[in-house]
Structure 1
Amino acid sequence: MSLKNARVLIIGGTSGIGLGVATAVAERGGIPIVASRRQSSVDSALSTLPDNARGATVDLTDPTAPDRLFDEVGAIDHLVYTAGDALALAPLSALTPESINSFLLVRFVGALTAIKVFAPRITSGGSITLTSGTAAERPGLGVLPTAVCGAVNAMTRALALELAPLRVNTVAPGPIRTPLWDTLSETDRQAIYDQFASQLPAGRIGEVGDTARAYVYLMEQEFGTGVVLTVDGGSTLS
């Protein structure tokens, strides 16, 4: 399936992997629609994308926001969900009900709410592509990322059955250089990148473009559904 002229809504599409997906969609002749919480982020993303790209704001902490987003953007061909705040690398002892709920709200509840709103309005032959991560298989980042990644993977398989023939898949990135690591100091962040690079069979940290191509593949292929596609430089091999 070609992405030419396809309308692809990317929730979380103004930075990192989401912006990489928007760029890749545009390169294939598609129409990326990037959605994020802040209008300034949307404007910044649109300044880097072709003129046919569109943008919208959506506050995923508001359960009515996805309905308003649909009213604004209309029917779509593909939904991509990459939204996520900075990684919560806290141990169990440091978690609070507020931090737990905040992390789940954007990465899991927000995704499920968006799917509920948009799935009935995705054109025939379209798809949904979610985002989890290799923490589901290698729980080294703490309980919250591990739990959410595992939940998204399970949700993908359940929705692939419930929403069939609409295809529902997930990309599970490994160590990728994205703004999600920006809560760390530049020195600590680079140290983590160097550590990953030395341990990965691929010999380097992943870049946004490496992962963006996986989303494009899952949109363009027409047979796979319920797939969790790992793009991790080999991090789960050992």
Structure 2
Amino acid sequence: MEKQTNRQTLEGQRIVILGASSGIGLSTAIAAAAAGAKVVIVSGNQVRINEALKQLPAGSEGYAVDLAQEANIQAFFDGIGPFDHLVYTAGENLVLNEIGSTVLTDAQRFFNVRYWGAFAAVKYGAPHIRKGGSINLTGGIAGQRPNAGWGVAASICSAMEGFTRAMAVELAPVRVNLVAPGIVRTNLWNGMPETDRENLFTTIGNALPSKRIGVPDDIAQTFLYMMQQHFATGQIITVDGGGVLI
């Protein structure tokens, strides 16, 4: 029988996090660095990257990359060198519209970063992942539990789940998993008026079994677990305070 060693650590490992200048991505970077990892954070805005680096240990790296452009993603990975884990949390504010008022070109644009950006990151990042490493993607519960107006969001989440399973098979033994958050307090909701946003958070939080909505660290801890464990692959890990139950 193969001897089992304690591999559940991120000490000394290098983690590349795309979409990490704020919210879930930045929380994941902070938590990973606290666990001993060397983190590389990527976002589209250099000013926000610089601000995020102030919250990370010395030696952390940060790069501004337009994740809507395949060539930029390829160039980034061609120059970054080997690493252990890839985390993709990038996404822009979604506008929720029922199908009758949805402009198709706007709907297609939302796939650029959330889906095709992740697709390109996996394509160009996977060859640089060291043995025992992993790819960790982000979806959401909209595919499992959509509401009216969530047609685009549900489509992206469902597409990401299928992509995760396919890559877990194709890229084995690299582990590929996806974290599906519920409602999380991040700046992705800043497109809503503040009063409407807070009412939404309060209403949903009171309805959840957890009696609160999520915060970025809830999701960050899930990403850390998925990097540290060494057996699950092709899995969708739902972290939603019980949102799919109601």
TM-score tier after normalising by the smaller chain length: over 0.9
Aligned to 1:63: 70
After TM superposition, give the deviation of residue 88 of structure 1 in Å: 2.2
Match of 2:145 in 1: 138
Aligned partners of 1:88 and 1:103 also within 8 Å: no
Separation of aligned partners in 2, 1:29 and 1:77: 13
SS of structure 1 residue aligned to 2:209 = coil
Quote the offset at 1:95 in angstroms.
Answer: 2.0
- Cα distance in structure 2, aligned partners of 1:103 and 1:52: 33
1:31 to 35, 38, 54: 38
Displacement of 1:75 in angstroms is: 1.4
Q: Does 1:185 align with 2:204?
A: no
Question: Which residue of the partner structure matches residue 5 of structure 1?
Answer: 12
Deviation of 1:32 (Å): 1.3
Determine the structure 2 residue equivalent to 1:212.
220
Measure, in 2, the Cα distance between the counterparts of 1:57 and 1:39: 5
Name the aligned partner's letter for residue 173 of structure 1.
P
TM-score, normalised by the number of residues in structure 1: 0.97
CA shift, 1:98, in A, is 2.3
Within the candidate set 149, 156, 159, 2:167 is matched to: 159
> Would you say 1:54 and 2:61 are equivalent positions?
yes
- TM-score relative to the length of structure 2: 0.94
Counterpart residue number, 2:91: 84
Quick check: 1:173 aligned with 2:181? Answer: yes
- Identity of paired residues, percent? 42
Distance in 1 of aligned mates of 2:121 and 2:205: 35
Q: CA deviation at 1:15?
A: 0.7
SS at match of 2:176: strand
Secondary structure of the residue aligned to 1:123 is strand
Cα shift readout 1:109-150 (whole Å, capped 9, x = no counterpart): 110011000111100000000000010111115101100001
Shift of 1:68: 1.3
Q: CA deviation at 1:72?
A: 3.4
Find the counterpart in structure 1 of residue 22 from structure 2: 15
Cα RMSD (Å): 1.0
Cα displacement string for residues 1-44 of structure 1 (whole angstroms, at most 9, x for unaligned residues): 31111111000011110011001101101011110011111111
Match of 1:199 in 2: 207
* Large movers: runs of 4+ above 4 Å: none
Match of 2:231 among 220, 223, 226: 223
Q: CA–CA distance in 2 between the matches of 1:221 and 1:163?
A: 17
More displaced stretch, 4-13 vs 87-96: 87-96
Equivalenced residues, count: 238
**Contact 2:10–2:32 (CA under 8 A) maintained in structure 1:** yes
Tell me the CA shift for residue 101 of structure 1: 2.0
- State the 1:197 CA deviation: 1.0
Secondary structure of 1:183's aligned partner: coil
Distance 1:109 1:203 in 2: 34
Q: 1:74 maps to what in 2? A: 81
CA contact (8 A) 2:74 2:120 kept: no
Q: Which amino acid aligns with 2:243?
A: S
Aligned residue runs from structure 1 range 89-108, under 5 A: 89-108=96-115
Using the TM superposition, give the Cα deviation of residue 175 of structure 1 relative to its aligned residue in structure 2, in angstroms: 1.1
List per-residue Cα deviations over 1:30-72 (Å, max 9, x = no partner).
0111100111111111011111211011112221011211133
